[in-house]
């Protein structure tokens, strides 16, 4: 019988005392568990023990932990170099390097060392749990327990079930995570699980912006931060983590999904990686870094101008048009009325999902005298403007001057269906919808996972609901229509909820939540 009481005898074994293993050992000790930490490399478990002692010591210095409590925790830690030391553990968490054959061998050995009642889990980032445990005799007790780095700071733990994992095992793992002060979400075994999978929407759309030259990485990152509210832009994150880590993770997800274009990468992303331009650690990646490690960012050569005298306005809805009108009033610009723009007048439009070229063609506007502004993201923080090819630079400068008349910063990108932030968010939300459709996690856990696992400012489903499921669907449909690329096919989950005007968190059936 699996032990369900997390009593004072409960012992957690950790295999691998590297970055993750030592962090897991630390949070387990802090939660009051007994811990056995083993690493095959001589001296590593001892170093990890000293490291954990130092981390707990820092908490004592900051008055966050009692000195006596620290000593007691360290007294509950055993270290070793062989898996044999894990006999008697109630739960073993494997955290060795990401190598399927090695992990399989470790699980084979754990089965012979640990009692039949011990729960065995892997902290793998992306290897299928079912594949790791494929040779095991007692597969009901196998699962994934995916901690995030750095373990003591990151709240999220993904508890991953295979088709064989027993419900009691999931319950115990949720309770263990809870005791460790973590927020656990239930996830099904799936390529990159939940958070790692959904986060690819953030990276792969960003690299597409760069490949297509919608804007420079610095401009994209600025829009994502200042208009989107994300803590860091995608290129900053990739350069920080390192392309040697990010690119292979993205590539294996693309391959593991049988080349689903939703996860497709770009040649430029691969080229940078293969050229050794790995980000901060090599002094260049998507950005170049100076001797102090600061990214070198070229200023936007925006021409200074003043607002046009007359203007024709069009917004995709009343609210968007009203925003444009307010600005025109503030700048004292005369607005021409009528359904059609009179020849020669400057046109400022706020499309939804369309690029400026498509909107111009549909509305019969002169592309030389038209620019578009994003009214969905950044209206009060950083406005995004785009213009069709052939737009008059002086006219665009005048419209940018108008858009900055109330002191809000404006940045220009090249023509892009859905601009930058709505398009990026639509891509992430569409992916999140697909994960819900496939039952990889419950809607509330999808949002929780992305907020806690990747520091997203809001969950992707909540972000969709804030704009409206119908608006989100129109954005994705517009991308699908423009590019004729299956990458942007709307998820059935999004189509149904968008068409019905329901929240994106609406389950298929209430009782399945
Ligand atoms: P790491 O290289 O820092 O540590 C791995 C440790 O495992 C090493 O100390 C190594 O000596 C030890 N080891 C190797 N073979 C062993 C064996 N047979 N028995 C016992 N110990 C053995 O790796 P890490 O970054 O801690 O990653 C560990 C696992 O966690 C990987 O599966 C990784 O994908 C996953 N993960 C990593 C992160 C991260 O950001 N680092 C985040 C989440 C999950």
Alpha-carbon distance 399 to 281, whole Å?
41
Nearest to 488, CA basis, from 496, 479, 499, 497: 479
Contact (Cβ atoms closer than 8 angstroms) between residue 317 and residue 310: no
pLDDT of residue 394: 95
Alpha-carbon distance 282 to 293, whole Å?
10
Report angle CA 381, 335, 364 to the nearest 5 degrees.
90
Q: In what order do the strands lie in the sheet with 370-373?
A: 334-335, 310-315, 346-350, 370-373, 382-386, 409-413
Q: Does ligand 1 have an atom closer than 6 angstroms to the CB of 19?
A: yes
Query: In whole angstroms, how far apart are CA 455 and each of 144, 401, 490?
Result: 22, 34, 25
Contact (Cβ atoms closer than 8 angstroms) between residue 217 and residue 287: yes
User: What is the percent of the chain where pLDDT is above 90?
Assistant: 96
Q: For all residues of the chain together, what is the average pLDDT?
A: 96
Query: In whole angstroms, how far apart are CA 510 and each of 171, 341, 462, 505, 513?
Result: 21, 50, 18, 11, 6
Please tell me the distance between residue 98's alpha carbon and the centre of ligand 1 in angstroms. 7
Q: Does ligand 1 have an atom closer than 6 angstroms to the CB of 41?
A: yes
Q: Does ligand 1 have an atom closer than 6 angstroms to the CB of 450?
A: no
- What atom of ligand 1 comes closest to residue 245's alpha carbon? 40
Nearest to 260, CA basis, from 268, 251, 247, 269: 251
Model confidence over 193-234: pLDDT tens digits? Answer: 999 999 999 999 999 999 999 999 999 999 999 999 999 999
Best mutation site among 96, 101, 125 for ligand 1, i.e. most ligand atoms within 8 A of its Cβ? 96
Q: Does ligand 1 have an atom closer than 6 angstroms to the CB of 241?
A: no
Whats the size of the chain, residue-wise? 513
pLDDT of residue 339: 85
Structural domains of the chain sorted by starting position, each given as residue range(s) with its CATH number in brackets: 11-189 (3.40.50.720), 310-412 (3.40.50.720)
- What atom of ligand 1 comes closest to residue 147's alpha carbon? 43
Please tell me the distance between residue 473's alpha carbon and the centre of ligand 1 in angstroms. 41
User: What is the percent of the chain where pLDDT is above 70?
Assistant: 99
Please tell me the distance between residue 20's alpha carbon and the centre of ligand 1 in angstroms. 6
Report angle CA 369, 370, 372 to the nearest 5 degrees.
160
- Phi-psi category of residue 350: left, alpha or beta, with phi > 0 → left and psi -120 to 50 → alpha: beta
Q: Which residue has the least CA distance to atom 11 on ligand 1?
A: 41
pLDDT of residue 510: 78
Best mutation site among 18, 106, 145, 253 for ligand 1, i.e. most ligand atoms within 8 A of its Cβ? 18
Whether residue 415 is preceded by a cis peptide bond, meaning omega within 30 degrees of 0, is no
Q: Does ligand 1 have an atom closer than 6 angstroms to the CB of 188?
A: no
Contact (Cβ atoms closer than 8 angstroms) between residue 78 and residue 46: no
Q: Which residues contact 109 (CB under 8 A, 6 or more apart)?
A: 83
- Of the pLDDT bands very low, low, confident and very high (cuts 50, 70, 90), residue 302 is low
Q: Does ligand 1 have an atom closer than 6 angstroms to the CB of 44?
A: yes
Q: Does ligand 1 have an atom closer than 6 angstroms to the CB of 150?
A: no
Classify strands 310-315 and 91-94 as parallel, antiparallel or unpaired. Answer: unpaired
- Phi-psi category of residue 383: left, alpha or beta, with phi > 0 → left and psi -120 to 50 → alpha: beta
Q: Does ligand 1 have an atom closer than 6 angstroms to the CB of 21?
A: yes
Q: Does ligand 1 have an atom closer than 6 angstroms to the CB of 372?
A: no
Q: Does ligand 1 have an atom closer than 6 angstroms to the CB of 356?
A: no
Model confidence over 381-435: pLDDT tens digits? Answer: 999 999 999 999 999 999 999 999 999 999 999 999 999 999 999 999 999 999 9
Region 459-479: mean pLDDT is 98
Contact (Cβ atoms closer than 8 angstroms) between residue 320 and residue 350: yes
Best mutation site among 14, 16, 122, 193 for ligand 1, i.e. most ligand atoms within 8 A of its Cβ? 16
Q: Does ligand 1 have an atom closer than 6 angstroms to the CB of 124?
A: yes
Instruction: Decide: pTM greater than 0.75.
Output: yes
User: Is the pLDDT confidence value at 513 over 60?
Assistant: no
Q: Which residues contact 1 (CB under 8 A, 6 or more apart)?
A: 117
Model confidence over 339-378: pLDDT tens digits? Answer: 889 899 999 999 999 999 999 999 999 999 999 999 999 9
Please tell me the distance between residue 16's alpha carbon and the centre of ligand 1 in angstroms. 6
pLDDT of residue 304: 78
Model confidence over 228-287: pLDDT tens digits? Answer: 999 999 999 999 999 999 999 999 999 999 999 999 999 999 999 999 999 999 999 999
Q: Which residue has the least CA distance to atom 12 on ligand 1?
A: 16
User: Is the pLDDT confidence value at 319 over 80?
Assistant: yes
User: Is the pLDDT confidence value at 174 over 90?
Assistant: yes
Please tell me the distance between residue 33's alpha carbon and the centre of ligand 1 in angstroms. 21
Alpha-carbon distance 76 to 92, whole Å?
16
User: Which of 485-507 are b and which e, b meaning 16 or more Cβ less than 10 Å from the residue's Cβ?
Assistant: eebbbbbebbbbbbeeeeebbbe
Q: Which residue has the least CA distance to atom 38 on ligand 1?
A: 149
> Tokens standing for 464?
């969709």
Q: Does ligand 1 have an atom closer than 6 angstroms to the CB of 39?
A: yes
End-to-end CA distance of the chain: 28
Q: Which residues contact 410 (CB under 8 A, 6 or more apart)?
A: 382, 383, 384, 385, 400, 403, 404
Q: What share of the chain is helix, strand, coil (3-state, %, to 5)?
A: 45, 15, 40
pLDDT of residue 512: 61
Dihedral of CA 271/274/275/276: which sign? positive
Nearest to 87, CA basis, from 111, 117, 113, 122: 113
């Amino acid at each position: 019988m699996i032990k369900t009481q997390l009593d004072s005898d409960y012992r957690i074994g950790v295999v691998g005392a590297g970055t993750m293993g030592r962090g897991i050992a630390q949070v387990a000790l802090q939660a009051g568990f007994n811990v056995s930490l083993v690493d095959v490399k001589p001296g590593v478990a001892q170093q990890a023990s000293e490291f954990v002692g130092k981390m707990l010591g820092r908490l004592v210095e900051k008055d966050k932990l009692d000195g006596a409590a620290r000593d007691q925790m360290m007294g509950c830690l055993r270290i070793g170099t062989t898996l044999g030391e894990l006999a008697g553990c109630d739960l073993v968490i494997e955290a060795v390097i990401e190598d399927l054959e090695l992990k399989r061998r470790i699980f084979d050995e754990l089965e012979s060392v640990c009692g039949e009642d011990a729960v065995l889990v892997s902290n793998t980032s992306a290897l299928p749990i079912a594949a790791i445990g494929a040779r095991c005799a007692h597969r009901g007790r196998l699962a994934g327990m995916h901690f995030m780095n750095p373990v003591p700071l990151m709240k999220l733990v993904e508890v991953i079930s295979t088709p064989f994992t027993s419900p009691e095992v999931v319950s115990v793992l949720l309770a263990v995570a809870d005791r460790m002060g973590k927020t656990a979400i239930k996830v099904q075994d799936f390529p990159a699980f939940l958070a790692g999978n959904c986060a690819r929407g953030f990276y792969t759309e960003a690299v597409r912006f760069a490949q297509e030259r919608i804007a420079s990485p610095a401009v994209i990152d600025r829009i994502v931060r200042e208009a989107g509210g994300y803590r860091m832009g995608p290129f900053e994150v990739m350069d920080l983590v390192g392309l040697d880590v990010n690119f292979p993770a993205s590539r294996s997800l693309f391959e593991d999904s049988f080349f689903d274009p939703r996860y497709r990468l770009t040649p430029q992303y691969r080229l940078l990686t293969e050229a050794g331009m790995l980000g901060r650690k090599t002094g260049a990646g998507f950005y170049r870094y100076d001797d102090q490690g600061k990214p070198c960012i070229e200023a936007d050569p925006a021409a200074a101008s003043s607002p046009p005298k007359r203007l024709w306005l069009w917004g995709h809805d009343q609210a968007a048009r009203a925003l444009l009108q307010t600005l025109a009033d503030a700048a004292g610009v005369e607005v021409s009325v009528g359904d059609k723009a009179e020849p020669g007048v400057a046109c400022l439009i706020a499309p939804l999902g369309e690029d400026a070229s498509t909107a111009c063609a549909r509305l019969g506007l002169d592309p030389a005298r038209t620019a578009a502004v994003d009214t969905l993201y950044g209206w009060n923080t950083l406005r995004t403007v785009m213009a069709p090819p052939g737009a008059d630079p002086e006219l665009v400068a005048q419209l940018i001057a108008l858009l900055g008349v109330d002191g809000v910063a404006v940045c220009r990108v090249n023509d892009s269906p859905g601009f930058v932030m709505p398009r990026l968010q639509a891509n992430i939300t569409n992916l999140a919808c697909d994960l819900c459709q496939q039952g990889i996690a419950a809607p509330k856990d999808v949002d929780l996972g992305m907020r806690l696992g990747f520091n997203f400012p809001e969950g992707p489903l909540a972000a969709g609901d804030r704009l409206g499921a119908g608006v989100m669907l129109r954005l994705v449909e517009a991308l699908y229509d423009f590019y004729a690329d299956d990458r942007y096919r709307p998820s059935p989950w999004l189509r149904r909820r968008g068409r019905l005007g329901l929240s994106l968190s609406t389950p298929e059936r209430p009782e399945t939540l």
